Chain A
Amino acid sequence: MKWISLADREVARLERIAIIGASLCMLFMMLVVALDVVMRYLFRAPLGWGYDLVANFLMVGATFLAVSETFRRGGHVAVNLFQNMMRPNVRRWVDAASALMVIPVLLAMVVTGWQSTARAVARDETIPGIVPWPMWASYILVPIGAGLLMLRMGAHLADLLSGGKGHVPETVDHQIETTDPAVDTRPEGDER
């Protein structure tokens, strides 16, 4: 199925951009909080805006921009005790059923997230604080992240229905591989 692997590759491309965004959020979270501490204790002049920026934007970005790529890499913790006992064919259908059930929930997140964003833009909402950060820039991260995960779920479902293995959640073996630097030599995005 050529179009399935094409879809998979295209979504993976978007995911790579998103995870870089999430990583930058992590980096700035660290820097802003640390700077805030230094300014407060050394110069008695706290930033004041650090708290709002970190909680409303960077934390939200770090979470939602990473969610789809984390799923693709099987990073969301699951109980795979029973899954490992299933025959591959049964397991494929069970995984497909799971994906099918998750998609409506993601759709709800995309729709409500988009509504919040649109309302914030229309009313010009800002965060109450020293710097009036625009609210929409925080809200929009939800439909972006959930939407990307929805695309990923669609590609995953199509892969499963056409006989593929889909994206397998984290297992004990996987943990061993990723904790031992000597073993984990795979290049980025090369786990399939």
Chain B
Amino acid sequence: MIAVLGSLLLVLLLAMGMPVAFAMAVSGVAGLFAVGGLDLVMGMVKSSTISSVNSYELITIPMFILMAEFIIISRIADELFDATAVWVGRLPGGLGVAVVLAGALFGAISGSSTASAATLSSTALPAMMRQGYSLRTAGALVAITGTLAILIPPSIALVLYAIIADVSVGKLLIAGVVPGLLSVMALITLIIGMSLFRPKAVPPGIRHPWSKKLSVLRITLPMLILFGAVTGVLYAGITTPTEASAMGALAALVLGAVQGRLTLRDAGRALVSAARVSCMIAIIILGAHIFGYFFTLTQTATAIVSWVSGLEVSVYWVMLVILVIYLILGCFLDQVAILILTVPIMLPVVVELGFDPVWFGVMVVMVAEVGMITPPMGLNVFVVARYTGQPVHEIFAGILPFFACMLGMVIILGLMPEIILWLPGQMSN
């Protein structure tokens, strides 16, 4: 009963617009107070504040964020779209294909599909319009490309899931590679198909000379190598994810400085900005510790697990319901908030039902991202609509084929978990 009241309080505080971290801490403290009075509260706060933050694995998050900030501030990312447009421009629907690739790379860097959608709205969208793309298709493409990015390493969401679920960070990061690449390929195939059959919405491509192709590589190639190196080092198990992330950040800093795109002042701005984002995530983890302790104390998680495993339905129906919940949550909640709020409750259920936690992590992150473009709520669509000054329903109308494509991808990955689990299974421990 107390657990239900505590959860209701949490929902109320979230609805009031209290930051997620504070809402979890406040409702957790209130719940603990109801269970064991002030002594319990003080004991818990004392033991949890430092211990939820001083973990070596957690450092992966600030370091990947820092790497992203260095790259974004040195504006290498801005040139991604130009580079991909020159390289794949001659394919049917070439510019659209370029947007998918640039979105995937940019999202992999920034770790935020919303940020990716916003940036591409300002760079790629006008370029597509000039080449004669229909507005709804162009807007929809920009809204969706960010969503696949979340799977491609280094994905903050997958690191966070791994930490919450207590599974190997390296395995999770590598598990995102194949589904991420498959989604990119599926979207590219769709665009080429659209260009061939509906050339009015997706015009054919334009050829670019080799000299131009080589000149754009000067800026973007080193960054691509950096990303490949971070992923490769993780896959081969040469360093821990923490070490790979710190080396990646340092390399991004050096890269920006050598190319003359990162002044001392820029580097300072990147540090401050990274400190803010990583603080936001760490404080949410702290809040989740407090609320999670309250949940454990009231044995709520165990109760939910035994209730679900007592249900007389197929485990696949339960999984379907869980994934639909994530799709809905993804429409309006931040990815970090979704993971922290739900994974501690869902994961024991999922493991009890016999599913693999690594597979579940990739599915959750992916489904929640598809939620960001799901009508009628999807956040990314609103971002693009607001940025371009177009009506929301116009963009939603264009998004349907892409949405169906991503949903199909999720269903395939759901039915064939080996696709996700194969690559991490090849890793040396």
* A residues with CB within 8 A of B: 19-20, 22-27, 29-31, 33-34, 36-37, 51, 54-56, 59-60, 62-64, 66-67, 69-71, 73, 75-83, 91, 94-95, 97-98, 101-102, 104-105, 108-109, 111-113, 115-116, 138-139, 142, 146, 169, 172-173, 175-176, 179-182
Contacts and interface: CB of A to CB of B under 8 A. Distances in A.
B135 interface: no
Contacts of A62: 62, 275, 278-279, 282
Contacts of A81: 332
23 contacts: A26-B275, A34-B243, A34-B247, A59-B54, A59-B62, A59-B282, A60-B54, A63-B278, A66-B279, A77-B20, A81-B332, A97-B16, A98-B17, A102-B26, A105-B45, A108-B29, A108-B45, A109-B45, A111-B42, A112-B46, A113-B46, A172-B383, A181-B78
Nearest to B53: A63
A60 B50 contact: yes
Contacts of B383: 172, 175-176
Contacts, number: 206
Given A25-B275, A30-B63, A98 B18 contact: yes
Nearest to B337: A77
Contact of B279 (A22, A91, A102, A180): A22
Contacts of A116: 46, 50
Given A56-B54, A63-B53, A176-B383, A169 B66 contact: no
Contact of A66 (B122, B276, B387): B276
A63 B232 CA distance: 29
Nearest to B110: A179
A91 to B, nearest CB: 8
Contacts of B26: 101-102, 105
Contacts of A112: 42, 45-46, 49
A136 B239 CA distance: 31
B242 interface: yes
B262 to A, nearest CB: 13
Interface string B45-85: 11001100111101100110010000011010010000000
Contact of B17 (A55, A56, A95, A115): A95
Contacts of A64: 53
B284 A83 contact: no
A36 B243 contact: yes
Interface string B13-30: 111111111110110010
Interface stretch (B112-120, B178-186, B192-200, B299-307): B112-120
B203 to A, nearest CB: 27
Contacts of A19: 272, 275-276
Contact of B41 (A34, A69, A73, A108): A108
Nearest to A168: B17
Nearest to B75: A181
Interface in B250-288: 250, 253, 268, 271-272, 274-280, 282-284, 286
Nearest to A78: B19
Contact of A75 (B55, B62, B277, B286): B277
A8 B215 CA distance: 50
A141 B160 CA distance: 24
A172 B279 CA distance: 19
Contact of B283 (A22, A25, A67): A67
A32 to B, nearest CB: 8
6 pairs of A and B residues whose beta carbons are closest in the complex: A33-B246, A76-B19, A83-B17, A66-B279, A112-B46, A23-B271
